[in-house]
């Protein structure tokens, strides 16, 4: 899928009903304590995540993700979207662009915002992620924030949309068996909240009503 086609499809899909509740549930780990599909607790703090479509240099669309350092107390070693907490006085869009500038060196002036995906409550952190879809109008020189980002990943969008990228594994945590769905992208298993957001993105691009 080329970048122009991806942008057209996503902009059109974002103007209609969002499939987030269904898509999130399909990629949610099970059991997922403290989470109910579609629930956004009023006391939760807002966070923004930038779902950035990016040109790969040959006209095809890619997706920018970050690998978090293992040393971080929360979500260490996991793949995530560029993003972070919404500060007082900021909009979700402002926060997404600011965090992307800080984490990957994104130029806000080179990014076109397309709209918001479905908010997602993350019980372990107490945040509600507000994913913001956007497209980079041209490639830019990325550089990572050393304290927050171990590596910047450019995942081809075609890989996200390839059914063979989906997998499931079981993990034993505190003596309990968890079913963990994931996307396998750029050599990494993308699971948890990031995978749930990407499931909605894939559904919107395919117009599948929630299925990634």
Homologous superfamily in CATH for domain 3-32+46-206: Nucleoside Triphosphate Pyrophosphohydrolase (3.90.79.10)
pLDDT in tens, 177-211: 999 999 999 999 999 999 999 999 999 999 865 67
**CA torsion through residues 92, 120, 192, 114, sign:** negative
Give residue limits of the domains in the chain. Answer: 3-32+46-206
Q: Would you call 81 exposed, middle or buried from its count of C-beta atoms within 10 A (0-12, 13-18, 19+)?
A: buried
Encode pLDDT of 109-124 as tens digits: 999 999 999 999 998 8
Instruction: Tell me the whole-structure pTM to 2 decimals.
Output: 0.93
DSSP string, 46-74: EEEEEEEEEE-SSSBEEEEEEEPPTT-TT
């Amino acid at each position: 899928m080329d970048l122009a086609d991806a942008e057209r499809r996503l902009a059109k899909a974002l103007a209609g009903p969002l499939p987030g509740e269904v898509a999130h549930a399909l990629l949610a780990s099970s059991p997922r304590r403290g989470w109910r599909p579609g629930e956004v607790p009023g006391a939760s703090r807002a966070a923004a995540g930038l779902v950035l479509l990016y040109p790969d240099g040959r006209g095809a669309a890619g997706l920018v993700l970050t690998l978090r350092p293992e040393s971080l107390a929360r979500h260490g070693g996991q793949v995530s979207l560029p993003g972070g907490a919404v500060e007082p006085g900021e909009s979700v869009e402002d926060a997404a662009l600011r965090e992307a500038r800080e984490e990957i060196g994104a130029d806000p002036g080179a990014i076109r915002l397309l709209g918001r995906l479905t908010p997602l409550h993350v019980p372990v952190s107490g945040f509600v992620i507000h994913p913001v879809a956007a497209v980079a109008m041209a490639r830019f020189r990325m550089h990572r924030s050393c304290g927050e980002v171990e590596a910047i990943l450019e995942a081809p969008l075609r890989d996200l949309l390839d059914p063979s990228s989906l997998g499931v594994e079981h993990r034993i945590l505190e003596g309990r068996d968890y079913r963990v769905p994931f996307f396998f992208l750029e050599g990494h298993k993308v699971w948890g909240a990031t995978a749930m957001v990407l499931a909605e993105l894939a559904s919107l691009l395919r117009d599948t009503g929630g299925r990634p």
